[in-house]
Amino acid sequence: MNKFKQLHHTQVVAGYLIVLFSLLSMTTLSVLAQDAGGGFNLAVKHTGIGFGNSKKFNGIRLNYRDYRLQKVNGLNATIWTPYDMEQGEGGNVNGVALGVPLTGARNIRGVAVGVGVGATESIYGATIGVLGAGAGRHVVGLVNLGGLGLGAGYNVSGLLNIGGLGLGAGKNLTGINVGGLAAGAGKKVQGINIGGLAVGAGKEITGFNLGGLAVGSGGNVSGINASFGVIGAGSKARGLNIGGLAVGAGDNIAGINLGGLAVGAGKNVYGVSASAIAVASGERTVGINVAGVAVAAGSQVYGLNLAGIAIGAGDEVKGINVAGVAVGAKKLSGLSAALVVGGKYVRGVHIAPAYLNVVDGGTMKGLAISAFNHIKGEQKGVTIGIFNYARKLKGFQFGLLNYVRDNPLLLRLMPIMNFSFKD
């Protein structure tokens, strides 16, 4: 009886083995088989756990170094970067790419983690490279971290991108990006970008950008930009720009701009500008401009301008202008106050405790108050001072001595007051 039971049990086991072998023989994929790419897999239809260089796999795939990989869906863990990565080849990893210490692929979609992470084309998702992470085209995702550096040949974008020493993109850098030493892009930097030493873009910087020493763009800088060193734009700087040493633009500066040493533009400065040394432009300075030393423009200064030493323009100064030492321009109009005020065409109210000068052939219209009002042209209005001089007068002079060269001989030099209304 026992022998009969043992025989029956043996027959059942044999039957199960025959059925299992039949099922395995009918499928095109095998379990516990050698993959054509050189991998040994515990898998059914390329799904399961794979060891070695399987070309396609779903599940958990472990390999020393990939070669001619096509696609992995799941976890791909490697020790080194792919053999064919230097030729710009490689496969796609959808899921988790784990490098112990290095990993790489053509495209990584999901989570990429390693001492170093690289992709010949793009990384999409969350990337953590302890030393560095980079892609030939795009790095896109919520969080991308490169311990020493993070970069992409085209675009870096996402919620938070951090490069410990540097962060760079060949084209655009978008989102919240932090570069320990620098953050830069060949074209545009947009969003909140922080560079420990610098934030730079070949064309345009937009948003809130903070550079430890510099924020610079070959084109425009706009938004809120802060630098303890320099903010510079090859074309225009617009918005609120704060430079510890300087704020400058090759074209125009507009908005609220503060430069520790200077605010300057190759063409125009518009808005509210303040600097410890100078606010200057190659053409026009317009708005409220405050400088510890000087407010100046190659052509015109308009608005409310305050300078510790001087306010000047090559053509015209117009508005309310107050300087510790001098205000001067070919055309001077509005209200001016400085130790010395001068120009060729002076109009409005001008207060110069030391000296007011109108050059040869010029005109003074309005009110001038100075110790010495020296008008080597025509005065139309009133001067008040210790000594008033005019070559031609249509108005009044009030002072200790008053001289009008065009008056009759006996009326040229008069005490207290002199006047004339000749055309």
DSSP string, 175-216: EEEEESSEEEESSEEEEEEEESSEEEESSEEEEEEEESSEEE
Question: Residue range 162-189: average pLDDT?
Answer: 90
Which three-class secondary structure state does DSSP give residue 409? helix
Structure confidence by residue, pLDDT tens digits, 18-32: 333 333 333 333 444
Close Cβ partners of 347 (under 8 Å, ≥ 6 residues apart): 331, 332, 333, 334, 363, 364, 365, 366
Pairing of strands 182-185, 166-169: parallel
CA distance 5 to 123: 62
Average pLDDT, the chain: 88
pLDDT band for 39, please (50, 70, 90 cuts): low
In eight-state DSSP terms, residue 36 is T
90/374 Cα distance (integer angstroms): 83
C-alpha dihedral, 164 to 170 to 175 to 178, nearest 10°: 20
Residue 335 in this model has a pLDDT that exceeds 90: yes
Q: How many CB atoms lie within 10 A of CB 296?
A: 25
Does residue 422 register a pLDDT over 90?
Answer: no
Percent of the chain having pLDDT more than 90? 66
Angstrom distance (rounded) from CA 155 to CA 28: 42
What is the widest separation between alpha-carbon atoms in the chain? 160
Whether the pLDDT of residue 71 is over 60: the answer is: yes
Look at residue 141 and tell me whether its pLDDT is greater than 60: yes
The phi and psi torsions of 9 (rounded to 5 degrees) equal -65, -40
Q: Residue 16: its pLDDT value, please?
A: 43
- CA torsion sign for 294, 297, 300, 302 is negative
- Higher-confidence position of 117 and 15: 117
Q: What is the pLDDT of residue 81?
A: 87
| pLDDT on residue 214 | 85
**DSSP code for 5:** H
Instruction: Say if residue 265's pLDDT is above 50.
Output: yes
Which of 205, 240, 206 minimizes the C-alpha distance to 226? Answer: 240
Q: How confident is the model at residue 15 (pLDDT cuts 50, 70, 90)?
A: very low
Residue 41, helix vs strand vs coil: strand
Residues facing 224 on adjacent strands: 208, 240
Q: How far is CA 394 from the centre of its chain?
A: 56
Tokens of 180: 């320990």
Distance between CA atoms of residues 205 and 406, nearest Å: 61
Mean of pLDDT values over 370-396 = 97
Whether residue 398 is predicted with pLDDT greater than 50 in this model: the reply is: yes
What integer is the mean pLDDT of 212-238? 90
Residues 6+ apart with CB under 8 A from 318: 300, 301, 302, 331, 332, 333, 334
CA-to-CA distance for 340 and 104, rounded, in angstroms?
71
C-beta of residue 413 within 8 angstroms of C-beta of residue 388:
no
For 385, the token pair is 């001072």
- In this predicted model, what pLDDT tens digit does every residue of 290-320 receive, in sequence order? 999 999 999 999 999 999 999 999 999 999 9
Q: Band of the pLDDT at 38, cuts 50, 70, 90?
A: low
23 membership: H or E segment, kind and range: helix 2-26
Least confident of 24-28, 153-157, 189-193: 24-28
Beta bridge partners of 94: 73, 109
- Extract the tokens encoding 422: 């000749």
b or e along 144-172 (b: 16 or more beta carbons within 10 Å of the residue's beta carbon)?
Answer: bbbbbbbbbbbbbbbeebbbbbbbbbbbb
**Residue among 420, 411, 408 nearest 383 (CA):** 420
